[in-house]
C-alpha cells in the first residue's frame, strides 16, 4: 500500500505549493511505468485521505510515461514494453533508462473564481 | 481558472533526507547497503553470516526494518554488533527519514559498513532512496527463477544480486542458470554471488567483496 504514502506526499506538496482559497480542480501527475505505482490504487488512496478536506473533489490527472532507453552502442532510443532492457535497433543491452521512472507533480489547476462547489 | 506549475518529484522530501543520510555516511567513511528481497529469502541469515565473517576485521552496524516485531534485531544483537530495529507498523518499505531517526541511535564512529535490511518486499523499496551506496537484492532458489522478470525495477536498481539457498536448488523448481540469465537480462551490470547459509558456500567470497569496498 505504498500508494497511500505517495498520496500523502502529493497532498503535502500541494499544501506547500498552493496558497489559495480557490478550488483545486485537478492535480496533474506524470507516472512512469517503472515507478511501481498503480494509478487506480493511487486514486483510491487520494480519495480516501482527502475526504472531508478542501481537496475532496480534486481530480488526479495521471499521464503514464513509457519506459524509454537510450542505446550507448548505436545511439537510438527504444520504447520498452517487455521489461527486457534492450535496444530495438541493434539489440544491445548497453542501454540507459531515460524515462519510465517518473513520479512527479506537473501542475495544479485552480478555479480562482469559484470556491469549492457545494 | 489558473494553472500553477509545480514540476516536483513526489518523493522529493524522501530524496532530500536520503541525501542528508548519504552525506552523513560519507563524513564517517561508511559504506551503506540497502538489502532488499522478498520475505523469507534469507536476508537476515545472510547478514548473520557476513557479520560472523567480518566482525573481527571491521566494525559493522545494522538497521533492521520489519512490519512487526524486533525478532531480527534480537538475532543480530546476539552477534555483538550495534543494531536498531525499525518497526513500520504496516508500512511496506523503509523511508529515508526512518533510517535517519534509527541511525541517530548508533554511535557511527569507526563503523565501516552499515547494513540496512529493508522490509521484505520486491516492489515498493525499489522507489525509495535511503542514502545507501548501493542496493543489494537477495533472491533465493526456493522463489523460483522468474522473479527478476516479475519485479524488474528492483533488479534494475540493484548493483549486487545474492542468490541464496543454492544448496536447495536440486530440490526445488529453479534453474540457477536461468535465474542468473533473467537477472542479467534486466540488469547486465549486476554482480552475482551465490550463497548458502546452511553450507556457508559463497559467504566468504561475498564478505570479502564487501570488505574490499571499505579497505
CB neighbour list of residue B208: distance below 8 Å, 6 or more residues apart: none
C-alpha cell at B79: 552477534
**Inter-chain touch B10–A34, beta carbons under 8 Å:** no
The predicted-structure confidence for A37-71, as pLDDT tens digits, reads as follows 999 999 999 999 999 998 999 999 999 999 999 99
Mean pLDDT for B99-125 is 97
Q: How many CB atoms lie within 10 A of CB A85?
A: 22
In terms of DSSP H, where are the helices of A18-56? 39-50
Contact A96, A69 (CB under 8 A): yes
Mean pLDDT for B34-63 is 97
The predicted-structure confidence for B138-178, as pLDDT tens digits, reads as follows 999 999 999 999 999 999 999 999 999 999 999 999 999 99
CATH architecture of A2-67+99-111: 2-Layer Sandwich (3.30)
**Inter-chain touch A9–B13, beta carbons under 8 Å:** yes
> Which chain A residue lies closest to B122 (C-alpha atoms)?
A36
Burial of B149 (0-12, 13-18, 19+ CB in 10 A): middle
What pLDDT score does A111 carry? 86
> Which chain A residue lies closest to B183 (C-alpha atoms)?
A84
> Which chain A residue lies closest to B150 (C-alpha atoms)?
A83
Write phi, then psi, for B83 (nearest 5 degrees): -145, 140
Q: Is pLDDT at B89 greater than 60 in this prediction? A: yes
Cβ contacts of A84 on chain B, cutoff 8 Å:
185-186
What SS3 state is found at B8? strand
What SS3 state is found at B37? strand
Which ipTM value was assigned to this complex? 0.88
Bridge-based pairing of strands B134-140 and A103-111 is unpaired
Domain ranges of chain A: 2-67+99-111
Q: How many CB atoms lie within 10 A of CB A60?
A: 18
Out of A9, A17, A93, name the one closest to residue B10 (CB): A9
Out of A85, A97, A104, name the one closest to residue B9 (CB): A104
Q: Does B92 lie at the interface with A, CB-CB under 8 angstroms?
A: yes
Domain B12-212 sits in which CATH superfamily?
P-loop containing nucleotide triphosphate hydrolases (3.40.50.300)
Amino acid at each position: 500500500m505504498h500508494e497511500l504514502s505517495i498520496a500523502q506526499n502529493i497532498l503535502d506538496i500541494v499544501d506547500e505549493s498552493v496558497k489559495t482559497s480557490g478550488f483545486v480542480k485537478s492535480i496533474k501527475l506524470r507516472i512512469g511505468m517503472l515507478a511501481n505505482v498503480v494509478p487506480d490504487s493511487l486514486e483510491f488512496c487520494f480519495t480516501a485521505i482527502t475526504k472531508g478536506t478542501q481537496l475532496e473533489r480534486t481530480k488526479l490527472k495521471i499521464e503514464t510515461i513509457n519506459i524509454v532507453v537510450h542505446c550507448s552502442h548505436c545511439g537510438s532510443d527504444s520504447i520498452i514494453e517487455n521489461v527486457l532492457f534492450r535496444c530495438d535497433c541493434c539489440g544491445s543491452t548497453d542501454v540507459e533508462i531515460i524515462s519510465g521512472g517518473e513520479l512527479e507533480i506537473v501542475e495544479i489547476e485552480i478555479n480562482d473564481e469559484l470556491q469549492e462547489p457545494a | 481558472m489558473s494553472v500553477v506549475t509545480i514540476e516536483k518529484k513526489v518523493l522529493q522530501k524522501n530524496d532530500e533526507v536520503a541525501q542528508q543520510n548519504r552525506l552523513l555516511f560519507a563524513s564517517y567513511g561508511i559504506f551503506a547497503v540497502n538489502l532488499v528481497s522478498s520475505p523469507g529469502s534469507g536476508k537476515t541469515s545472510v547478514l548473520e553470516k557476513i557479520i560472523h565473517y567480518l566482525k573481527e576485521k571491521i566494525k559493522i552496524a545494522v538497521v533492521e526494518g520489519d512490519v512487526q516485531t524486533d525478532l531480527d534485531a534480537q538475532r543480530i544483537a546476539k552477534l555483538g554488533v550495534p543494531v536498531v530495529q525499525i518497526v513500520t507498523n504496516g508500512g511496506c518499505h523503509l523511508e529515508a527519514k526512518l533510517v535517519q531517526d534509527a541511525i541517530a541511535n548508533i554511535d557511527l564512529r569507526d563503523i565501516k559498513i552499515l547494513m540496512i535490511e529493508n522490509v521484505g518486499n520486491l516492489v515498493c523499496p525499489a522507489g525509495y532512496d535511503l542514502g545507501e551506496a548501493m542496493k543489494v537484492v537477495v533472491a533465493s532458489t526456493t522463489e523460483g527463477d522468474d522473479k527478476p522478470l516479475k519485479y524488474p525495477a528492483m533488479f534494475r536498481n540493484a548493483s549486487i544480486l545474492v542468490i541464496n539457498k543454492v544448496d536447495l536448488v536440486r530440490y526445488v523448481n529453479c534453474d540457477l542458470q536461468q535465474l542468473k540469465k533473467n537477472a542479467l537480462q534486466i540488469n547486465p551490470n549486476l554482480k552475482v554471488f551465490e550463497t548458502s547459509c546452511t553450507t556457508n558456500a559463497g559467504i566468504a567470497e561475498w564478505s570479502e567483496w564487501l570488505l574490499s569496498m571499505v579497505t
